[in-house]
Amino acid sequence: MKYFSVFTLLVALVFTSCKKEPKKEEEVTVDPNAALKKSIVENYANIAYYSYLDSYNKAVDLKTAIDAFTSDPTNTTKFAEAKAAWLLSRESYGQTEAFRFAGGPIDDANGPEGLLNSWPLDEAYIDYVNGDANSGIINNTVSYPTISESMLDSLNTVGGETNISVGYHAIEFLLWGQDLTSPSAKTPGQRPNTDFVDGGTAANQSRRRQYLSICADLLVDHLEYVKNAWDPAVSNNYRATFLALSANDAIKNMMTGMGALSKSELAGQRIFTAYDNQDQEDEHSCFSDNTHRDIRLNAMGIRNIYTGNYTRADGISVVSGESLNDLLKIINPTLATQVMNQLNTALQKVNETAIPFDFAITDANSRPAVLEAVNNLKDLGDDFVLAAQAFGITISTATPE
């Protein structure tokens, strides 16, 4: 009996030791800000859509004005109206630059950014320039006997990144021509409307009209592509992909875009490079002397995203909702105050730069204000890095190669 009892005990011990311990229920961490983050991401998508919708609509207006001019190039009023429409179109598009560098449809692998807003532009690639009356695609009837949309699209940046054939700045050059005056004169390019009139100034006037009209068509087409990518009424587009991301991944993209634009692209490439070289050829809209608006609008675009508010092109309608600023105020109120103060200061410093920009970067008394704007935009980019860290996110403020 004793032997049996020991044996029984051993079997019981073995059986017991083979039993698996019941799994404890995994602890699930609930993000207390999950609903807020979701609203922030959705608001960003809405602001993106309406920003590009406004840009598209203003591009359509520009095309209408250009077509009216090219059909009656002797009419100086229509020429002035085409220029005014170009300037107005930049008001909407300039604010969309804050959606760059965020992995979105504007500059992903298939994005049309390079066909929309590339610069600086080698004028001689398109048309005649001072000292060379026969330069450019327009005047090369042998290599380019027919000007078409597909040809101009395909020639963009061929042979060099300044060989820009289409987009806003190609249209700008065709409307204003080279700015050959001293920055102190504070005047833009002075291309005459007769460059488009048969038998007028310069050669190949009909090709110049055709080139300008096609560029306007392409601008509309390329903006329509980006608009549709964010359209809530379109299924299976980028907007749907973006909203399907985790909230943290989407917010990382948003923060990366703002940080890279503020510290690297706007402060560096768009302002400091021209400041350092003191060369108007390095400024964004050098033909029309509209660069001061470019940099102000780019900074406004950053504010739109961070504060979750966008005033549409009509100046009345507002797209607004939960914002990154709202989230940071909950997580780190002190840092939220710091970021907002820096954002306001950067905007103020940008707005204080002299007009036009080529004067601001060459005039000894105006240059310090430009450098202040650069430094404050860089500081803003650094603050966005800190804000991202508060969200548990790591971002880079360098623009992609």
**Over 271-302, what HEC string results?**
HHHHHHHCCHHHCCCCCCCCHHHHHHHHHHHH
Asked whether the predicted pLDDT for residue 401 surpasses 80, the reply is no
Please give the CATH topology (third level) of the domain spanning 34-390.
A middle domain of Talin 1 (1.20.1420)
Please, which pLDDT band fits residue 30 given cuts at 50, 70 and 90?
Answer: confident
Question: Mean pLDDT across the chain, nearest whole number?
Answer: 93
CA 46/CA 14 separation, integer angstroms: 64
Non-local (6+) Cβ contacts of 381 within 8 A are: 259, 260, 262, 263, 264, 267, 397
Q: Helix, strand, or coil here: 132?
A: strand
pLDDT of residue 289: 97
Average pLDDT over residues 355-384: 98
Average pLDDT over residues 331-356: 98
pLDDT of residue 21: 52
Average pLDDT over residues 311-333: 98
**Structural tokens at position 263:** 């510290």
Report which of residues 30 and 56 the model is more confident about.
56
pLDDT of residue 4: 38
HSE-CB at 374 with a 13 A cutoff on CA atoms is 17
pLDDT of residue 19: 47
pLDDT of residue 355: 98
By percentage, how much of the chain surpasses pLDDT 70? Answer: 93
Diameter of the chain by CA atoms? 125
Phi, psi of 148 (to 5 degrees): -140, 165
pLDDT tens digits, one per residue of 227-244: 999 999 999 999 999 999
Average pLDDT over residues 214-235: 98
Please, which pLDDT band fits residue 11 given cuts at 50, 70 and 90?
Answer: very low
Tell whether pTM > 0.85. Answer: yes
Asked whether the predicted pLDDT for residue 194 surpasses 90, the reply is yes
Cis peptide bond upstream of 356, omega within 30:
yes
Give, as one character, the DSSP assignment of residue 360: H
Please, which pLDDT band fits residue 249 given cuts at 50, 70 and 90?
Answer: very high
pLDDT of residue 280: 86
Asked whether the predicted pLDDT for residue 5 surpasses 50, the reply is no
pLDDT of residue 60: 98
Please, which pLDDT band fits residue 27 given cuts at 50, 70 and 90?
Answer: low
What's the sign of the alpha-carbon dihedral 41, 241, 396, 49? negative
Average pLDDT over residues 115-127: 96
Average pLDDT over residues 355-371: 98
CA 258/CA 271 separation, integer angstroms: 16
Average pLDDT over residues 104-112: 92
Report which of residues 389 and 399 the model is more confident about.
389
By percentage, how much of the chain surpasses pLDDT 90? Answer: 90
Please, which pLDDT band fits residue 17 given cuts at 50, 70 and 90?
Answer: very low
Please, which pLDDT band fits residue 26 given cuts at 50, 70 and 90?
Answer: low
Residue recorded with tokens 């960003």: 44
